[in-house]
Amino acid sequence: MKIPFYKYQGAGNDFIVLDERTQTYSLSEQQIAFLCQRRLGIGADGLMILRNKAGVDFEMIYYNADGREGSLCGNGGRCLTRFAYDLGIRPPVYSFWAVDGMHEAFLNSQTQWIHLKMNPVAQIENYQGDWILNTGSPHYVQAVEEVDGMHVVKAGRAIRNSARFTQQGINVNFVQQTASALRIRTYERGVEDETLSCGTGVTAAALVFAPKQLGKHRMQVATRGGELEVEFTRIGDHHFEHIWLCGPAEQVFEGTITLND
């Protein structure tokens, strides 16, 4: 079976993208995991499928690098929006369906950044001095003094596999607050490794470290793969709406791969 594919990245978070508007490939969990392997397959943090869906511009199906269908991927949603744009699907504002429901997105013509609207967040749990929240995917946020020198895989894996989280898993974010921006490194479940960027993790960090004043805010977040911004309106202590994840998304290459049936 020959499969045409595209490779996209958003702030270093990279994805294999398939166009299933006219053909369905029905890949197994093992085949998806193989495609995402960096030495034996194409290599990616995940695989996404763009499908037609009535009432919206497209549907987003997302699989983690382990081959299992995942929760929302923020950078993935931005990359799939860019993919739709490159395919010639070009409404002023996109509407698409993802695993956590409806989303909107648009291309900023000046910056060429993709802005993705996230669902509201109304709960942040304080947990042993750290924070837990869901921004489309579950996230654990820990404040650190200096993020660059951390052994993120070791520390993240220990939290992700601790008694509370071992069954469902959780993404683990280590965040350093500076005068001008947040600096973040993330251990992602499903990849079971550090990724260069995580959109839902960046969003989670921005909300945890948001200014206490109610109203509109914009926070800059530096990842190992690039800069992102999160815009939002603070409604209450743990209540945020009108959340937009903003950043670059671009095609890296395209090709065809042959898979055994």
Hey, which residues are catalytic here? Answer: 73, 198
> How many Å apart are CA 80 and CA 62, to the nearest integer?
10
Neighbours of 150 (CB within 10 A): 17
